[in-house]
Amino acid sequence: MTISDVSPRPADAGAPRPPLLEVTGLTKHFPITRGVLRRQIGAVKAVDGIDFTVAAGETLGLVGESGCGKTTTGRMLTRLEEPTGGRIVFDGRDITHLSVARMRPLRRDVQMVFQDPYSSLNPRHTVGTIVGAPYRLQSVKTEHGTKRAVQDLLERVGLSPEHYNRYPHEFSGGQRQRIGIARALALRPKLIVADEPVSALDVSIQAQVINLLEDLQDEFGLTYVVIAHDLSVVRHISDRVAVMYLGHIVEIGPRQAVYEKPQHPYTSALLSAVPVPDVTRRDNRERIRLQGDPPSPIDPPPACPFHTRCWKAQEVCRTVTPPLVEFAPGQRAACHFPENAPDGPYEPGTDSIVAPAS
């Protein structure tokens, strides 16, 4: 089974759900220091002011090329990294700058699945110790004991209860990732941040893990933020998609709208690079090849961060930062000259799209 064998999630036509997670102006700058006194001479602007919400029970896919700030964003959402600025509101509570002690009770509700199933598990501990650790750290008593609870979790993620006393090195990559998922699921969290959950796995195993995540979401009512660079994975698992470039969200919207009618040129370039297995469709699709390398987050370009590589860039793109504007229902993009806008380019200083002068 491969990714192409997995059916995309059906579009959610129900009523809008209340937000479980609200992110406003989230920023993370890593200082650059020099000398004996460690004087700061600059900063790596890994995440530079992003805004989004995640509704309860939905999956938000966070995509972009390496170095755009996806993983840093995920680590801030789980408070493994301290934000430089902005605000994170989870389930109505501001958790932006909570101390370790005050954040500890919330660990029951916010968990993370890490990218590398080989380094995220302690090789000296058995599976039972690894998956049972959340119960001990949170002093949670289960009805039939920790061992029985762990064995039930192993069964739910497709492993055998007999694996309880085995060590991580005795498992394949896909099995290790299932162990990581079981550990994240132990305390029945409300939100799981999955950082590249299948990128380190064999292609034949990826679809199995994706199906597992979807089944667990339906069973436990989970909310996901899935970080990935593989657009085919994001398309199959996400309800909405946010596209990041150089620490900024340049487009966000419903999965189908973003994939079928992208508004931002960078999104169009990303989608044009997705391999198409149907040979009859390959020749009809235009491949967009971006010129140059991504700018350094130490010294990002002014105004629109993408203007140095954009084929539609004009003078306004170099001087005025485009706001994240709604060009279609639920679909927002930060671009002065969007790809599929119905009436023309966005006029700076207004909150609407204006038709070009005739």
Residue-level pLDDT at 346: 44
Tell me the whole-structure pTM to 2 decimals.
0.88
What phi and psi, each to the nearest 5 degrees, are found at residue 263?
A: -95, -35
* SS3 of residue 209 by DSSP: helix
Bridge partner residues of 63 (DSSP): 243
Give the residue carrying structure tokens 């299932």.
Answer: 178
Q: For residues 131 and 143, what is the distance between their CA atoms, to the nearest angstrom?
A: 17
Q: For residues 171 and 118, what is the distance between their CA atoms, to the nearest angstrom?
A: 10
Q: Kindly state the tokens that stand for 105.
A: 């009770």
Vertex 180: Cα angle to 174 and 183 (nearest 5): 145
State the number of CA atoms in the 13 A half-sphere of 34 facing the CB.
3
CB of 21 closer than 8 Å to CB of 73: no
Vertex 86: Cα angle to 242 and 263 (nearest 5): 25
357 — pLDDT class (breaks 50, 70, 90): very low
Q: Which residue has the higher pLDDT, 27 or 117?
A: 27
355 — pLDDT class (breaks 50, 70, 90): very low
Give the residue carrying structure tokens 């001087």.
Answer: 319
352 — pLDDT class (breaks 50, 70, 90): very low
285 — pLDDT class (breaks 50, 70, 90): low
Residue 54's CB is within 10 A of a number of other CB atoms, namely 24
Q: For residues 215 and 343, what is the distance between their CA atoms, to the nearest angstrom?
A: 41
User: Mind giving me the DSSP string for 145-200?
Assistant: -HHHHHHHHHHHTT--GGGGG--GGGS-HHHHHHHHHHHHHTT--SEEEEESTTTT
Tens-place pLDDT, residues 100-146: 999 999 999 999 999 888 888 999 999 999 999 999 999 888 888 89
Tens-place pLDDT, residues 238-278: 999 999 999 999 999 999 999 999 999 999 999 988 877 66
Q: Helix, strand, coil shares of the chain as percentages rounded to 5?
A: 30, 25, 45
Q: Is 202 exposed, middle or buried (0-12, 13-18, 19+ CB in 10 A)?
A: exposed
CB of 28 closer than 8 Å to CB of 81: yes
Sheet with strand 240-245: strands edge to edge: 110-113, 191-195, 223-227, 59-63, 240-245, 248-254, 331-333, 325-328
Q: Over the range 112-132, which residues count as b (16 or more CB within 10 Å of their CB) and which as e?
A: bbbbebeebbeeeebbbbbbb
Amino acid, res. 166: R
Lowest mean pLDDT among 3-12, 72-81, 125-134, 146-155: 3-12
Residue-level pLDDT at 94: 96
CB of 247 closer than 8 Å to CB of 300: yes
Residue-level pLDDT at 294: 86
Whether the pLDDT of residue 358 is over 50: the answer is no
Whether the pLDDT of residue 184 is over 60: the answer is yes
